[in-house]
Amino acid sequence: MINKKFKRIAFILVGLTILLISGFIYIQPIRMVSLDAGPQVEYWSNYFGIVVKVKGIGPEGEALINDSSKPKILNHNIEDALNETLNSMRKSAVINYEEPVTLLVAVTGENTHASTLLAASIKEMLVEKASRLNWEGSEIRVLSLTKKQWDIAKLSEFSPGRYYLLHSIADNAILVDKSKFDFNKYALLSVRELLDLENNLVIQQQIKPVLTPVAKTTTSKASVVSKTTTKATVTPTKTVVKAPVSSAPTSGIDSITSASPK
């Protein structure tokens, strides 16, 4: 009888331990996703990809993520949570699918592999949604970040996606002194304006390579000056690859990009 009681108690303790460990794993956020579509929203998901925390950033984001909308997002997978948020934006007229839709998404996970897989899954969902709704002139950028990059971005006042998009623009900007690049000035632009600016800067660098200064050499016996002009090697730039979403010539979805600021 005593042995049976001990066994029963041991089974109960083991069961409680498993439940506690499972509960801890479930509520532990290890992956983060940032959505910037005007309003900014951040999601935290667990090892199983289930959203365990969501927060609206800024007045617009807080108005979007309230007590009535949270139950439709929490305890759902991240793709469904993003889809629900986009639907809420449409219902509240924040975005209009009949007009160009611009989304900036930043993703990070417990490691680079997990971040890349999560970014690919989110991109696939957004591409499918854009194709199904026939978004005209849609512009969607998905950034795969490391945990360190995410933490650095969170020290700023910008969303992780906007922070690294600004870094990309700073890297591609044709400026004599890059230290004069004003983050606060460009941060006032919309996501669409920032993406257009980055694309234009990349095109400018590809079409108009910078020339090296003209070299002058003078011979010792004659005052003959020979001038040689050479083209400097163009620094490789990160290009944006677009896949068509609809038959409209202006539609496209940006490929997943790994952010690498200085």
Render pLDDT for 54-75 as a digit per residue (tens, 0 to 9).
Answer: 999 888 889 899 888 899 999 9
pLDDT at 24 over 70: no
Bridge partners of 242, per DSSP, are 254
How far apart CA 10 and CA 23 sit, in angstroms, is 20
pLDDT tens for residues 76-88? 999 999 999 999 9
Q: Which residues contact 111 (CB under 8 A, 6 or more apart)?
A: none
* pLDDT at 207 (0 to 100): 58
For residues 195 and 166, what is the distance between their CA atoms, to the nearest angstrom? 9
pLDDT at position 135 is 80
How confident is residue 231, by pLDDT bands cut at 50, 70 and 90? very low
**Polymer length in residues for the chain:** 262
* DSSP secondary structure string for all residues of the chain: -HHHHHHHHHHHHHHHHHHHHHHHHHH---EEEEEESSSEEEEEE-TTSBEEEEEEEHHHHHHHS-TTTGGGTTTSBHHHHHHHHHHHHHHTTSS-TTS--EEEEEEE-SSHHHHHHHHHHHHHHHHHHHHHHT-TT-EEEEEE--HHHHHHHHTSSS-HHHHHHHHHHHHH---S-GGG--HHHHHTS-HHHHHHHHHHHHHHHHHSPPBPPPEEEE-SSS--EEEE--BPPPPP--PPPEE--SSSTT--EEPPEE----
Average pLDDT for the chain: 74
CA distance 237 to 198: 11
Query: What is the model's pTM?
Result: 0.69
Rounded Cα–Cα distance for residues 27 and 242 (Å): 37
Residue 106 pLDDT more than 90? yes
pLDDT in tens, 144-194: 999 898 999 888 878 898 888 888 888 776 554 555 667 777 878 888 888
Instruction: Find out whether 34 and 65 touch, Cβ atoms under 8 Å.
Output: no
pLDDT tops 50 at residue 235: no
Query: Which residues sit opposite 103 in a β-bridge?
Result: 140
Model confidence at 215, pLDDT cuts 50, 70, 90, reads: very low
Q: Which tokens sit at 252?
A: 């496209």
Averaged pLDDT, 20-30: 71
